Amino acid sequence: MSTTVSMEAALLLAGILFMLGLISVLIRRNIIFMLISVEIMLNATGLAFIVAGTRWVQPDGQIMFIFILTMAAAEVSVGLALILQIYHQLKTLDSDAANFMKG
């Protein structure tokens, strides 16, 4: 299986995906959307690792991806639990409503 995928293009893809996730985090007020956006960013990061691993023909990139995956799973479960809790307390998913330390 040999291809000539340009590594630059692949990294670029990772970058674009990351940016999209970042934009989404910045513009959304809904906490679930923010969580989704974080997932997108994590995924993009994973992609970057895979690219790197492929480039140097080393397993480390993929291993990193696995770790990220693990972390993402844990994060989503805890995050969703927190969202539920916030929703029960505040009756809203608006992240701005949780600004009790307003400066």
User: Closest distance between another protein and the C-beta of residue 23, in Å?
Assistant: 5
The answer to whether residue 72 forms part of the interface with another protein (CB under 8 A) is yes
Q: Which residue type occupies 83? A: I
The answer to whether residue 69 forms part of the interface with another protein (CB under 8 A) is yes
The answer to whether residue 50 forms part of the interface with another protein (CB under 8 A) is yes
The answer to whether residue 45 forms part of the interface with another protein (CB under 8 A) is no
Contacts of 87 (CB under 8 A, 6+ apart): 93
Contact yes or no for 79/34 (Cβ under 8 A): no
> What residues between 17 and 36 interact with another protein by CB under 8 A?
17, 19-30, 32-36
Structure tokens at 77: 């479960």
